[in-house]
Amino acid sequence: MAIPTEPIGSIPRPPALVEALAVLDGSDPALEPLYDEAVRDTIEQFEATGSPVITDGEQRKYHNFWTYSVQGLPNTAPDGFKIPFAAGHVRRMLRLTGGPFCYQHRADTYLDQAQRLAQVPVKQAVISPSALSLMYPPEELPGYPREQFIDDLLREHETEVRACLQKGAHKVQIDFTEGRLAVKIDPSGQLLNSFVDLNNLALSRFSAEDRKRIGVHTCPGGDRDSTHSADIDYAELLPSLFALNVGNFYIALAGETDRTRVLEIIRDHIGPEHRVFVGVVSPIDPRVETPEEVRDRVIEAARYIPLDQLGTCDDCGFSPFCDDISTSRDTAFAKIRARVQGTALAAELLGGR
């Protein structure tokens, strides 16, 4: 029995693109040849790993996976919500300064190029409504109430996801890294619950059939070999995560100190309609896992998750922020190759049990 395996999203950009992005605006036409070459090379190397599903490596997501859709929006300021990482650095959201809210870039345009080049199915990651909701400041914006902002946000998210589905994305993965961070910010769970409610409002706009191709990714962050919320107990997040009305969950697991406990929580909350992709390689660990290590992690997960509901993935993207060069492209693809090979080894053993 084959066990599905999928990437999460980002791959480190080629050095020439990173260097250019440091001095040029991400929408500068001079970057187009570098973007095109980065996407072409990423897809070529991705397919060489044997991965049955690939992404474009988020090569064109200027700045990061979090704000790609709103980068360049004129009614924003750079001093928005802070995301502190354990290594000591801070990433920031854009702050909305007035209405209306709209996307500047949609992920389905990245999908267009990837599908023209790829020989295997392509999945597309998009940012969650809950993450972008943090752009709205605590005080109400004059002439643009929060309720109107939420309506606009949900419309833009729906448009992006629906376009990806219609264009044939293998899956649409909603990045929800702020889920675990929400528990750190608000241990009462109220912020997390509000995020889940908002995302479910968006998901309610899709049919049950659509939601089989939609998934949610959660992780403790991964930037410059550091995390923002790995110190938060997964037990505070996972029960609420499974309340999201999607068919697929991508759960970072390889980097957890107590994988068995996390798997027990998953076992207790997984529904019959769910498939859970567990992380079997850690992008922020510089050591490349062996296929045998991955195999053993998959076999471990199969003790808690029914085999027909189990999949594997990377813990998170390898370079969610475009200037993160802590992991090389070679290391990223080596880890992906280990994930693919190790998953296949586990499937051979588990298929005969």
Phi, psi of 188 (to 5 degrees): -70, -20
Specify the range with the lowest mean pLDDT, choosing from 85-89, 94-98, 209-213, 289-293: 85-89
Residue 343: its H or E element? helix 329-350
Residue 77: its H or E element? strand 76-77
| DSSP-assigned beta bridge partners for residue 125 | 173
Percent of the chain with pLDDT over 70: 99
The pLDDT score that the predictor gives to residue 352 is 53
**Residue 5 pLDDT > 60:** yes
pTM: 0.95
The pLDDT score that the predictor gives to residue 336 is 98
Per-residue pLDDT tens for 114-148?
999 999 999 999 999 999 999 999 999 999 999 99
DSSP single-letter state for residue 250? E
Tracing tokens 């076992």 back to the chain, one arrives at: 267
For strand 95-96 and strand 76-77, is the pairing parallel, antiparallel, or unpaired?
antiparallel
**Residue 353 pLDDT > 60:** no
Residue bearing the bigger pLDDT, 241 or 28 = 241
The pLDDT score that the predictor gives to residue 65 is 84
**Reduced to 3 states, what is the DSSP secondary structure of residue 149?**
helix
Specify the range with the lowest mean pLDDT, choosing from 100-109, 214-223, 242-251: 214-223
| Rounded distance between C-alpha atoms, residue 57 and residue 198, angstroms | 27
Q: Which CATH number among 3.40.50.1820, 3.40.710.10, 3.90.190.20, 3.20.20.210 corresponds to the domain 5-350?
A: 3.20.20.210
Q: Where do the domains of the chain lie?
A: 5-350
Question: Is residue 265 a contact partner of residue 239, using CB atoms and an 8 Å limit?
Answer: yes
* Among the listed residues 126, 216, 122, 106, the one whose alpha carbon sits nearest the alpha carbon of residue 169: 122
pLDDT-based confidence at 214, cuts 50/70/90? very high
**Reduced to 3 states, what is the DSSP secondary structure of residue 302?**
helix
Buried b (16+ CB within 10 A) or exposed e, 69-107: bbbbbebbeeebbebebbeeeebebbbbeebebebebbb
Question: Is residue 202 a contact partner of residue 127, using CB atoms and an 8 Å limit?
Answer: no
